[in-house]
Structures are given as C-alpha cells and as structure tokens.
Amino acid sequence: MLITIEFNPPKDDAEAAEQGDAVAQYNLGSMYATGRGVPKDDVKAVKWFLKAAEQGDADAQYSLGVMYTEGRGATKDDVEAVKWLRKAAEQDNADAQYYLGFMYATGRGVAADIAQAKLWFQKAAAQGNQPAKNALAKLN
C-alpha cells in the first residue's frame, strides 16, 4: 500500500504565519523576498519580516534591516535599518553584527564611529563571519 503525504510549504507557512508563528512569518518573508515557492514580492516580504521581527526573531530583524538599507519593499531608510540590525546584532546574529559594523564604518544611519565598527566586526568575526574578518584586517 502506497501512502501519500501532501506537503505544501507555502500554504503551511502561510497558515502558521497568519496564526502568529514568528518562524513561519520569517520563512514566508524569505519566500517572498526570493520568489521561492511564491511570486517575488518585496512589499509582502517586508510585511512578514516586520511581524516576525516585532516578536524578536533575530533573522527577521536582520532581513528587515537589509530591506531598509536597500529600499526593497519599503522606502530606503538607513536609520530604520540600523534599528533592526542592532536588535538582531544584540541577539548575536553574526550577519547583523557585520552589517551594523559596516553602517558605523560608513556613517550610514548613524554617525561614523570606527571604534563601534571594530566592536561589531570583532563580535561577528568571533563567530566566524569572513566579511567581518576582512573588514577588521582593512581597519588594522
């Protein structure tokens, strides 16, 4: 006897996301941001990243920060980007720590501050983030 299991990730994630599951909201945002399994839609991606980010999901906070720096799905806003990148960085998200260091190094959304840039690059590098290691090498 053959058992068939139906699995439709977009529907399952959408249902869980609608019910407030932060991981599902992040996953759905990622799907919309990349067009994986659904039509690419940056506005919907930001909507779902924001819902998950507001619940403290560090990956969503990082992704939302990136969307704001690039002006994808929302008006480009480096100050808002820094807000979300910092929240993710403070939860030890290495990519967010690197990106926050970059924002400090370039003065985007914050006053340029090489000491703060180094601090965040060091935190990310300690987790093995190669771009952060490269950035530190350039600053030293």
Q: Could you say which of 75, 102, 128 is where a domain stops?
A: 75
Q: Domain containing 115: what range? A: 92-140
Per-residue tens of pLDDT for the chain, all 140 residues: 444 434 344 567 788 888 898 999 999 999 999 999 889 999 999 999 999 999 999 999 999 999 999 999 999 999 999 999 999 999 999 999 999 999 999 999 999 999 999 999 999 999 999 999 999 999 87
**87 belongs to a structural domain:** no
Same domain, 56 and 110: no
Same domain, 15 and 60: yes
**83 belongs to a structural domain:** no
**49 belongs to a structural domain:** yes
3-state class of 56 per DSSP?
coil
Is the Cβ–Cβ distance between 37 and 10 less than 8 Å?
yes
Residues making up the chain, counted from first to last: 140
Residues contacting residue 4 through CB under 8 Å, at least 6 positions apart:
none
**97 belongs to a structural domain:** yes
Same domain, 13 and 49: yes
This prediction's pTM: 0.89
Q: Could you say which of 75, 106, 123 is where a domain stops?
A: 75
Is the Cβ–Cβ distance between 69 and 108 less than 8 Å?
yes
Same domain, 14 and 71: yes
**85 belongs to a structural domain:** no
Same domain, 24 and 69: yes
Same domain, 13 and 69: yes
Is the Cβ–Cβ distance between 93 and 59 less than 8 Å?
yes
- Per the structure, the count of domains in the chain is 2
